[in-house]
Structure 1
Amino acid sequence: MDPNLLHWKNEGKSFFSRLRICLNLLDPSCLFSSDAEIQNARAVFISGEKQRERDEHAWALSMSSVHADSGAVIPIGFRPPALLPISAPLVVLSLLPHRGVQPALFWQFLLHSYSAGFNYANRNSSAEKGMETSLKQVLLVGGSVTYATCAGAIPQIVINRLGIISSPFQIFLRSILPIPLSAALAAFNVYIVRSEESMNGVQVFDSDGNTVGISKAAGEKAVRDTALSRATLMGTTAALPNLLLFLLKRTRFFQKNPMLMTPIRHFSTALILGMMIPVSFSLFPQLGTIKKENVEKDLQAAAADGQLFYHRGL
């Protein structure tokens, strides 16, 4: 079992312990480390050194930069610390009430393209060792981005094509519909991009960290839990700024200063996204567990303590 997964197993048993780990690995300073520094950081705890400050930095650098299945360094733009700086402007601009369809499609395309890349780079790839990315996977990723782009722009398309001027209907399309739509499309992106995990299975481990085989049931659970966490992230990010604006509009100060609503919308969206990223990452353990009775029959004998472990991915 990879040292990153062992650390999650030992230190990430509760939600709050996982949250603490996620806050460390989301440190943007980790993005400025070179590949050599990342490999040296892994060597610190692999060699058994116990200097606490170096040890904590090594864990954060390793877990934020190295893929737990392949051991390869993750491309810098798709590492967890890069998620907020890159996705925040994309999320803010994709949720804006655009005047036309083309800007809505453009920002939706960028958002879902980046989301697909992040989901793919941080997937469970334990069943893909020695395999190149298949044409089927490329088509699935491209199809999911295309579909999510068009679906995400539905509110703007409806307003423009039908010429809707009714204020209540516009409020529904611009403020209410994007909430479930954002959550559903975020989950959809994960399901499609990581569909091979459900079809091919993922590597499972016993309680001692030994590999015992490949399980499709564990792969399905890994994808399902990650999709739910991503839906929580995007749904909450879309919902809370709208609720805040609704409350502020009722105050006398903002009724006299409506121009302040736009910067508050942008700032609150980015702030909530930043707060929800570590929360969503912590909802489910990175080293997930699956009960003995839920895995394939040929793997049940290996679950001596009633469960097996698997890498969920981000």
Structure 2
Amino acid sequence: MDANLQFWRTEGQSFFQRFLLWVDALDPLLLLKSSDEIRSSRFLLQNSLKTPSEPIQNDQTRQAFLLSLSSVQPDTGHITPVMCRPPAFLPISLPLVIISSVQLQGKQNFFYQFAFHTYTTLFTLLNGNHTAKAEGYSVSEKQIYLGLGAISYASFIGAFPLVFMNRYMSKNPLGQLVVKKLLHGPLLGLMSTFTVAVVRSPEFENGIEVMDRNGKVVGVSKKAGEKAVKETALSRAVLFGTTFFLPTVLMSFVERTKLAKTPRALSSVRMLLITSLLTGMLPASLSLYPQCGEIKRADLEPEIASSTEAEELFYNRGI
């Protein structure tokens, strides 16, 4: 079992523990670490005599784990490209989230939603579970094609209600309320969930590796893949659904105050709300489910369940 998964299994048993770990692992300063420093941290962890069941007390070892968690793909052991590491998610996605929430007109709306879904889909692709096997072509090729289709579809669906409203309901107050206030945020959250499910579909179509407590791979399970994708998609729905929808609700109260007379102040308040919510919801959404996922033997395929006596098996959920 990879050192990252061992660490999550030991230190991330509860939501609160996972939340605190993600707050540390999402530190943007970790992006400044060089590849040599990351490799040194991995070497330190791989040669550590500490067993997975012991808590991490040494500060140097803990910092090495945080750097590994924020930079290394646990399935392959490869260093993740800088722009798609977890600490880069907030700085890159925040401007895209703010622009997507503005609800610009026509082609601009589609373009910025396309940019938003492109980045989040690429992040999902590089941080998913990489143990799935596809027949006839590599997983990366299939996921790229699926991702391009999902991005285009999600951008079109996200932009269509606003185009429809401007063309057919420009003088309908109720229609504008539904599209701008009620539909826009949940729809972007739903489309974010959709792109996760599509780009990681090979995981539940072909299965992912499941391991026992000692890290021994006991099989490739489609049911574990389905569970991993479902948990990640739900966490993404919570992240962007809340970030897009809640500011709209809160702004309806702000617009009743004196700030409503100054558009710049309203824009500043909206940006502050979105920034605060995304900053807080990112570690919270990542902490909803264990990173080292667990699945009971009884829930696995019969051929895998019969090959081991372990009651609980583990897998990499992905991000």
Structure 1 residue 207 displacement after superposition = 2.1
Once residues 116 and 148 of structure 2 are traced to their aligned partners in structure 1, the CA distance between those partners, rounded to angstroms, is 13
Greater CA deviation, 44-53 or 76-85?
44-53
Give the alignment of 1:298-313 within 5 angstroms: 298-313=303-318
Give 1:161's aligned amino acid.
R
Match of 1:209 among 192, 195, 215: 215
Query: Greater CA deviation, 135-144 or 4-13?
Result: 135-144
Q: Is the contact made by 2:228 and 2:317 (CA closer than 8 Å) also made in structure 1?
A: yes
Q: Hey, what's the Cα distance between the residues in 2 that align with 1:196 and 1:127?
A: 6
Question: Residue 100 of structure 2 contacts residue 113 of structure 2 at CA under 8 Å; is this kept in 1?
Answer: yes
Contact kept in structure 2, 1:19 and 1:279, CA below 8 Å: yes
Q: Which residue of 1 aligns with 2:269?
A: 264
- Counterpart of 2:150 in 1: which secondary structure? helix
1:48 matched to which residue of 2?
A: 48
Amino acid at match of 2:179: L
1:92, CA displacement in angstroms? 0.7
Q: Which residue of 2 aligns with 1:102?
A: 107
Which range moved further: 164-173 or 280-289? 164-173
Aligned to 1:198: 204
Checking the alignment, whether the CA contact within 8 Å between 1:124 and 1:311 is kept in structure 2 is yes
Native 8 Å contact 2:169 2:175 kept in 1? no
Aligned to 1:33: 33
List alignment gaps of at least 5 residues for structure 2.
50-55
Find the counterpart in structure 2 of residue 152 from structure 1.
158
Q: Tell me, in whole angstroms, the C-alpha distance in 1 between the residues paired with 2:140 and 2:294.
A: 29
Q: 2:84 aligns with which of 78, 81, 93?
A: 78
**1:37 alignment partner, SS class:** helix
The residue number in structure 1 matching 2:193 is 187
Matches of 2:260 and 2:132 in 1, distance apart? 57
The count of aligned residue pairs is: 311
Share of identical aligned residues, percent? 39
SS in 1 for 2:220: strand
Give the corresponding residue for 2:16: 16
Residue of structure 1 in register with 2:297 after alignment: 292
Q: Is the 8 A contact 1:291 1:307 kept in 2?
A: yes
Write out per-residue CA displacement over residues 220-271 of structure 1, whole angstroms, 9 at most, x where no aligned residue. Answer: 10000000000000100012111211111222x2244343111111221122
CA distance in 2, matches of 1:2, 1:134: 21
- Tell me, what secondary structure is at the counterpart of 1:283? coil
Match of 1:161 among 167, 174, 193: 167
Secondary structure of the residue that 1:177 maps to in structure 2? Answer: helix
Match of residue 124 from structure 1? 129
**1:177 and 1:7 mapped to 2: Cα distance?**
40
Counterpart residue type for residue 116 of structure 1: T
- Structure 1: which 5+ runs fail to align? none
Quote the offset at 1:55 in angstroms.
1.5
Q: Select between 300-309 and 266-275 the one with higher mean Cα deviation.
A: 300-309
Are the aligned partners of 2:169 and 2:176 in contact in 1 as well (CA < 8 Å)?
no
Q: CA RMSD in A?
A: 1.8
1:278 Cα deviation (Å)? 0.3
Q: Provide the C-alpha distance between the structure 2 equivalents of 1:143 and 1:269, rounded to a whole number of angstroms.
A: 28
| TM-score normalized by the length of structure 1 | 0.94
Deviations 1:59-102 (A, max 9, x none): 1110110000000000110000000000000011011131x211
Q: In the alignment, which of 78, 90, 93 is matched to residue 87 of structure 1?
A: 93
SS at the partner of 2:102?
A: coil
Give the superposition deviation at 1:133: 4.5
